[in-house]
Amino acid sequence: MNIHNLIHLLILISTTTTASSFASEQPPPITNNRKTKASFLPSKLSSKMGQGISATQFFVYGRKHFTKTGYKKHVSGYTTPVQESASICRGETGADGVDLAGKVVVVTGANSGLGKEIATYAAAKGATLYMLCRSKGRAETARAEIVEKTLNENVNILLADIGELSQLREVVKDLQSKEEKVDCLVCNAGVLLNDRQETSEGNEITFAVHLLGGSYLLPTLLLPQLKSAGPESRVLFVTSGGMYRQPFPSWPVATSDQNAEKKIKYDGVNAYCYAKRAQVLLAERWAKERPEVTWVSGHPGWAATAAVDDAFGSDKKYLEPLRSTWEGAEGLTWLMSTEAKNLQSGEFYLDRKSQTKHLAGAFMTQGSYTKNTEKEVDEMIENLKKACGL
């Protein structure tokens, strides 16, 4: 397996589930400008070096922290209970003591993989659950399985392709007609494509699902309901370690704009990484601009899923031992359910701990290659706003 395919595998495994110590210290704000690198390095060479360092350290860091071995090490340091599966209900043997009765939880991409585990956990803890899914058949099958395991009948299906902004607006209106508040929104739905494809509205699909609709428009439309839920409300972006590879690029590159003056060659892995970096940036920015709600991003580690089996077969051995789907989801369910006082709004988490957001410097330091300036983030958000017609 060549290095490109290996990195592709690393990213897909960390998503379809979609210093040398386990970092918990807070990284500094994104004030570094990538243009301030040593002037004697040509920009293309500097970029290649940044990509190489970040990709290599992503793999090394991941081998230590993102695998099943890393998960077991991290769990050994937990100070509160952890259960062995998502479906253990309140009061049952092995339950972690969490009670979500009276809470309204919305999970996108909830019919399989990590999303289904997160949804199952919310139902097991007594929440009113809304599964926002694209496929009616798969959603109904998943709902039936969740209800059977948790005995919670208050599990509801919302049907929409969140990459289609018109569909998303309609389904949000439907939800708002039923609920005055939303306590937790989990932005989990995603896709990774090899070839460039567009939605019916002309947006590149990876960008539209992960970022434009799934992470920008949906939380924005639901902001009144999130605020109504009070100080414990939160939004969780299920992101990926793939974001360690890239900063958020120029808008034409991020959207793979085929009408740009300079033709942009589509790379599905890069498109995915750009969207995942943007989720981290959104959580960071909205923690400041929308402080009534807690905004966090979380990484599941490298988890085994049916999608990974189908895509890579025996090649997944390079990342073994892989986490189970529940082991990938467990830290995300903690972000969903723990008291807000235990969270740092705007931060990026793995296994209940805040992590560094950059690995592009020498010896596992942050470096500057993957950092965006405040101006670049301003431009990203303004472009997202315009693309949504807001």
Active site residues: 272
State the average pLDDT for the chain.
88
Mean local confidence (pLDDT), 224-232 = 98
**If pLDDT is split at 50, 70 and 90, which confidence band does 30 have?**
very low
- 286-341 pLDDT, tens digit per residue, is 999 999 999 999 999 988 876 556 545 676 777 789 999 999 999 999 999 999 99
Answer whether 242's CB lies under 8 Å from 11's CB: yes
Alpha carbon of 337 to those of 58, 65, 129, 304: distances in Å?
28, 23, 13, 24
- 53-110 pLDDT, tens digit per residue, is 777 887 888 889 999 999 999 999 999 999 999 999 999 999 999 999 999 999 999 9
DSSP state of 200: T
What per-residue confidence (pLDDT) applies to 380?
Answer: 98
- 34-58 pLDDT, tens digit per residue, is 443 333 445 555 566 667 777 788 7
* Superfamily the domain 49-388 falls into: NAD(P)-binding Rossmann-like Domain (3.40.50.720)
Name the burial class of residue 308, with classes exposed (0-12), middle (13-18) and buried (19+) by CB atoms within 10 angstroms of its CB: buried
| Block residue for tokens 């290095």 | 3
What percent of the chain has pLDDT above 90?
A: 71
What per-residue confidence (pLDDT) applies to 47?
Answer: 63
What are the percentages of helix, strand and coil residues in the chain, rounded to 5? Answer: 50, 10, 40
What per-residue confidence (pLDDT) applies to 18?
Answer: 41
**If pLDDT is split at 50, 70 and 90, which confidence band does 348 have?**
very high
Mean local confidence (pLDDT), 158-166 = 98
Q: Which helix (H) or strand (E) holds 130?
A: strand 128-133
Q: Which helix (H) or strand (E) holds 128?
A: strand 128-133
What per-residue confidence (pLDDT) applies to 308?
Answer: 56
Q: What CA–CA distance (Å, rounded) separates 149 from 122?
A: 12
**If pLDDT is split at 50, 70 and 90, which confidence band does 22 have?**
very low
Q: What CA–CA distance (Å, rounded) separates 133 from 65?
A: 31
Checking if the pLDDT of 281 tops 50, the result is: yes
Mean local confidence (pLDDT), 18-39 = 36
* Comparison of pLDDT for 264 and 120, the residue scoring more: 120
Alpha carbon of 233 to those of 74, 176, 299, 349: distances in Å?
26, 16, 20, 17
**If pLDDT is split at 50, 70 and 90, which confidence band does 16 have?**
very low
Residues 6+ apart with CB under 8 A from 287: 294, 295, 345, 346
CA 384 to chain centre: 18
- 247-261 pLDDT, tens digit per residue, is 999 999 999 998 887
Q: Which two tokens stand for residue 300?
A: 């599941």
What per-residue confidence (pLDDT) applies to 338?
Answer: 98
**If pLDDT is split at 50, 70 and 90, which confidence band does 359 have?**
confident
